[in-house]
Amino acid sequence: NAGVTQTPKFQVLKTGQSMTLQCAQDMNHEYMSWYRQDPGMGLRLIHYSVGAGITDQGEVPNGYNVSRSTTEDFPLRLLSAAPSQTSVYFCASSYVLAGETQYFGPGTRLLVL
């Protein structure tokens, strides 16, 4: 199993550009989520999904869209990139049960100029 994979590893954007961060998992996990990690802030939840076709907002959803058309994939779209979105983005997945371990992808480092 590849686990949770994310692409790209690194990306540089200009303000106003849009892009999609890809996340895929091959563990048949129902639950997938996106976090961003900033220095001094810890990990913050952006959006999450408890199954195909179901998504919801987390703590910091503004400026991001998600969709979940398949169990395996959970892409994160930046609609119009801003310097405040410079961060490291982690995708995670788990079975939908409280207490289940979440598995993280290796992260995408995004710089918005």
Partner 1 sequence: RKEVEQDPGPFNVPEGATVAFNCTYSNSASQSFFWYRQDCRKEPKLLMSVYSSGNEDGRFTAQLNRASQYISLLIRDSKLSDSATYLCVVNALNSGYALNFGKGTSLLVTP
Judged by the rule CB under 8 A, the positions of this chain that interact with partner 1 are: 31, 33, 35, 40-45, 48, 50, 56, 58-59, 90, 94, 96-102, 104-107
- Shortest CB 16 distance to partner 1, Å: 28
User: Is residue 34 classed exposed, middle or buried when 0-12, 13-18 and 19+ CB atoms within 10 A define those classes?
Assistant: buried
CB of 73 to partner 1, least distance (A): 18
**8 Å CB contact between 93 and 103:** yes
Measured between alpha carbons, how far is 112 from 95 in angstroms, rounded to an integer? 33
> How far apart, in whole angstroms, are the C-alpha atoms of residue 33 and residue 71?
12
Q: How far apart are CA 12 and CA 83, in angstroms?
A: 11
CB closer to partner 1, 58 vs 75? 58
Residue 2 or 98: the one with the smaller Cβ distance to partner 1 is 98
In angstroms, what is the minimal distance from the CB of 28 to partner 1? 16
Min dist CB 69 to partner 1, Å, is 19
